[in-house]
Amino acid sequence: SQMDDVEDGTEWNDTKLIFEITKKDDKTKIQFTHLGLVPEFDCYTVCSKAWDFYIKSSLQRLITTGKGEPIKKA
């Protein structure tokens, strides 16, 4: 992860990312859980904002247009 604003970038080590994909009527539902990411972590706010962007914006664009917005590697 790229968490430049966080003092301890290892807080989310050993957490688990869970994607549950189901069909509801004629739509696809994606439920995302970051198990182990808790509000007590310094990275919680940064991670929450990042996941909101990637799930609600970048992934949505990738699915609908074929082009998401990944972080560009240096």
Tell me the pLDDT tens digit for each residue of 4-32: 666 766 787 889 999 999 998 999 888 99
Q: What is the pTM of this model?
A: 0.71
The yes-or-no verdict on residue 54 having pLDDT over 70 is yes
Side chain identity, residue 37: L
Share of the chain above pLDDT 90, in %: 35
